[in-house]
Structures are given as structure tokens and as C-alpha cells.
Amino acid sequence: MLAQTPPPRLGAAVARFVLASLVAVAVIVVGGFVLLRDAAEQEAERDTRERVVAIASLVETAGLQDGLLRGDPAALRRLDDLVLGKVLAGSIVRVKVWTRDGRILYSDEPALIGRRYTLGEDERELFETGGAEAELSDLGKPENRLERPEGKLLEAHTTIRTPNGTQVLFEIYQRFGSVSASAERLLGTMAPPLIGGVVVLLLLQVPLAWRMARRLQRGHQEREVLLASAVESSSRERGRIAADLHDGVVQDLAGVAFGLAPLAASARARGADEEAGVLDGATATLRQGVRDLRTLLVEIHPPNLSSAGLEVALSDLLSPLARAGVQTGLDLHGGVPVARQELVYRVAREAVRNAAAHADPATVTIAVRAGEGRVRLVVRDDGRGFAAGERERRAQEGHVGLSLLEGLVGRAGGRLAVTSVPGEGTTVELEVPQG
Ligand SMILES: Nc1ncnc2c1ncn2[C@@H]1O[C@H](COP(=O)(O)OP(=O)(O)OP(=O)(O)O)[C@@H](O)[C@H]1O
Ligand SMILES: [Mg+2]
């Protein structure tokens, strides 16, 4: 399908610009929030790691006894007092002490004490490497089922030793709510100046965008005017050349032919047959020359286009085909502006000529529709058609009728499409703004 390029519309162009800017602002805000949240999460993990190390060393020195390893109630009580009194405050909601093989020695939740779960890879590694780990808790794990009601949690572990040197894993759980709250707080402070700045930028850019779109639009209009005047002046120039040829050379040659004919007759009467033959030949050549020149005149400046109109000119194109027994059809709807008539005529002429020269068709039709700001021409034949590469090959041999048309149509701001199916025929479609 063919499409024309409409002139750029000012309001639509600026609206598109504003919309794109708003989308960019939205991307910045959402992206900023995600980045801030990630940063806050990492910060919280670091913070939690530091806390677990500090609390673990407190527990190690003040609350951890060897009796805990055997489940001694006094040792449990002592640790419980320390945890309830000093550790479980603010955002820390749970404490667990694990043996290396996954048994819970102590928790502030008594139901967990003595239970056994499989420790994760990371936790087991801590027994070898030391240090601390922090991560978001997977509340789906069975060992975390009692923490589920607390919502999203960060867990952190490190290893400590009982007085006899046995390593145990110390674990705390911290509420995550404080993390997202701090990201929101950060965003809350940064977003208003950021968004405000972008909006001010946008407000400053809208008049600029408006001016630029207007300049583009004016450029487009100027181009149209230039094109129209170029077509007009070239057609005027061709008219002038045609008139000069017609009134000068054509008349002179016709006059000479007219003068030579009686000379041949009198030579023959005199019995100078050879001389008469030469004169007859010269007259015939001159007449042929005049005929050729007249044909050329019609090509350069089709007279019936301006005098009789496009419809007559188009049906003149078809009539030689009709005389040769081809079925022809012409269908013209709407008034084609004078400025476009010549282009329509030239495209139709090349298409019809091509059909006659290459296609051997049974039918050739021309359809022209003008309206809704554009002119459309379709020339169709049901001849032999041609394959994709054929045109290119012929163009290299100097057969450039269609290529020349493409340039002409492009300069007028239109589109030309030639579609052909071997064995089925060829369609030439022109679409051009009414101008
Ligand atoms: N209607 C058609 N049916 C079959 N073949 C066609 C048709 N129109 C064009 N062609 C093929 O495409 C080629 C290129 O066409 P184009 O009009 O560019 O050149 P041409 O007609 O061969 O020469 P020129 O137009 O320069 O006198 C033709 O040589 C022909 O092979
Ligand atoms: Mg051709």
C-alpha cells in the first residue's frame, strides 16, 4: 500500500515530545527508587552483619556457658536473660544458637530448642572461614516457620565459641521494614527536587520544541511550493520548446516538402525519371521527419492535456492498444488538480507503453482517483509480467523508463510502486499529494 508523508502537525509533534519527556521522568523515578532500594538493602545487610558480630561477642563473653551444649537449664536461663534483656530490642526479633550439625541449642522461642534442621552451605562455611553473613530470610524454610508472622526479615550469622572452645553458630533476625522505610525516606527527600527540576527543564524545552516544529513545518511548506514551481516551470519550458519547434523547424520542413512535390511531378513530365525518383525520396524523407517531429512535440508537451483535459489524454494513450484488439478500460473519479495532471499523464504513458511493448496483454486498465488530499493512479495489465531481477538487468542496458519515473514522482513528494507477477501481469501505482 502506498502512503504519503503528511506535513508535520505542530500540536501533535509537541505533544509527542512532552509525552516522551514524561515517560522519561517516570523511568527516572521508578529506576531511582529501585536503585535506592537496592542500595538501602545492601547498606542494611552490612549494618546487620556488623550488629551480629557485636552482639555475638557480647553473648560470647557474658552469656555462653559450656552447659548449653548439654542443654543444662541453668546455662539456658543465663543466656535467655541476656538475650531478653540486652538483645531483643528494637528491630531484632529472634535469636538462635546452632550446633555445627544443625541442632538449635538455644532460641528466645522455646519451641525451637532441640530441633534439628539442615544448615545452608553458607552457614556451614562460616565454621571454617569465620566472619559474618547477612541475607534476606527465606521464610519458606521450615526452620523459619515461627518467624513468618514478622513479615520480611534479614538474617545474619556468625560463629562464637563456648568457654571450652566448641564453635556454635549465632544467628539474629532483623525486621526488614526499617530498610524499605529508609529507602522511601531517601526517595522522599530526593524526589521533589529531582521531579521539580525535570518539570522546569520540560517547561523550558516546550517553547523550544514548539519553535523547532514550526520551523520544520515551514520548511516542509517551502519545499512543496518549490517543487510545485519547479514542475510548473519545467512544463512551461517544455511548452516553449514545443512551440518553437512547431512554429520554426516543423513549418520550414513541411514547406520544403510541399515545394519539392510539384518539382518531382514536373521532372517526371519532362521524362527525367531518375531526378524525379531522387526528389520523391527526398520528399518522403522530409515528410517522415515532420511526422517524427510532431510525435516528439506531443511527447514533450501533450497538447490535449492542457486543451482537452486529462481524461481525453489518457484515452488517447489507450486507443492504439484498443485498435490492436486489446481490451481497455479508463475510470476517472474526482478532479485531478492541474498541477498533478502532467505527472499522472507521464506515469500512465510509461505504464501503458510498457504494457504494449513488453506484456502482450489481453486487458489494460487505467484508474484515477482524486480526493482526500491525494491523487491515485493505477495502471494494470494482465500480460506476461516480469521477475524481480529483470528490471534491474534492463536498467543496466539503458532501459530506464520506470526508474526515471520514480525520480520524478519522488521529487513531487509521491510514491510509485511497480508490482509484477510473471504470467499474471503488472500493476503500476502512483500516489501523490494533491499539491
Ligand atoms: N507491463 C510490463 N509487462 C512486462 N514486463 C514489463 C512491464 N513493464 C516493465 N517491464 C519489464 O521491466 C523492464 C524495465 O521497464 P522500463 O520501463 O524501466 O524500461 P523499458 O520499457 O525496457 O525501456 P524504456 O522505458 O527506457 O524505453 C522492461 O524492459 C520489461 O522487461
Ligand atoms: Mg518503458
CA distance 270 to 264: 10
> Are 149 and 38 contained in the same domain?
yes
Q: What is the CATH number of the domain that holds 374?
A: 3.30.565.10
The residue whose CA has the least distance to atom 22 of ligand 1 is 399
Q: Ligand 2 centroid vs 328 CA: distance in angstroms?
A: 19
Q: Among 399, 416, 424, say which to mutate for ligand 1: greatest number of ligand atoms within 8 Å of CB.
A: 399
Name every protein residue with a CB atom under 6 angstroms from any ligand 1 atom: 350, 354-355, 357-359, 381, 383-386, 390-391, 394, 399-403, 426
SS (H, E, C) 185-249: HHHHHHHHHHHHHHHHHHHHHHHHHHHHHHHHHHHHHHHHHHHHHHHHHHHHHHHHHHHHHHHHH
Give the count of domains, the chain.
Answer: 3
Q: Which ligand is in closest contact with the Cα of 395? A: 1
Indicate the DSSP class of residue 110: G
Q: Among 328, 353, 354, say which to mutate for ligand 1: greatest number of ligand atoms within 8 Å of CB.
A: 354
Q: What angle do CA 185, 187, 190 make, to 5 degrees?
A: 115
> Are 198 and 325 contained in the same domain?
no
Q: Ligand 2 centroid vs 429 CA: distance in angstroms?
A: 15
Could you tell me how far CA 367 lies from the centroid of its own chain? 33
Dmax over Cα atoms in the chain, in whole Å? 158
| Boundary (domain end) residue, out of 157, 175, 193 | 175
> Are 171 and 188 contained in the same domain?
no
Q: Among 317, 321, 349, 358, say which to mutate for ligand 1: greatest number of ligand atoms within 8 Å of CB.
A: 358
Write down the mean pLDDT value for the chain.
Answer: 86
Positive or negative, the CA dihedral 148, 150, 154, 158 is negative
Tell me whether residue 141 is in a domain.
yes
> Are 339 and 400 contained in the same domain?
yes
pLDDT digits (tens, 9 = 90+) for 268-290: 999 999 999 999 999 999 989 88
pLDDT digits (tens, 9 = 90+) for 346-397: 899 999 999 999 999 999 999 999 999 999 999 999 999 999 889 888 887 7
pLDDT tier at 179, thresholds 50, 70, 90:
low
In the numeric block, which cell numbers belong to residue 140? 519458606
pLDDT digits (tens, 9 = 90+) for 57-109: 988 888 888 888 888 899 899 989 988 888 887 788 899 999 998 899 999 98
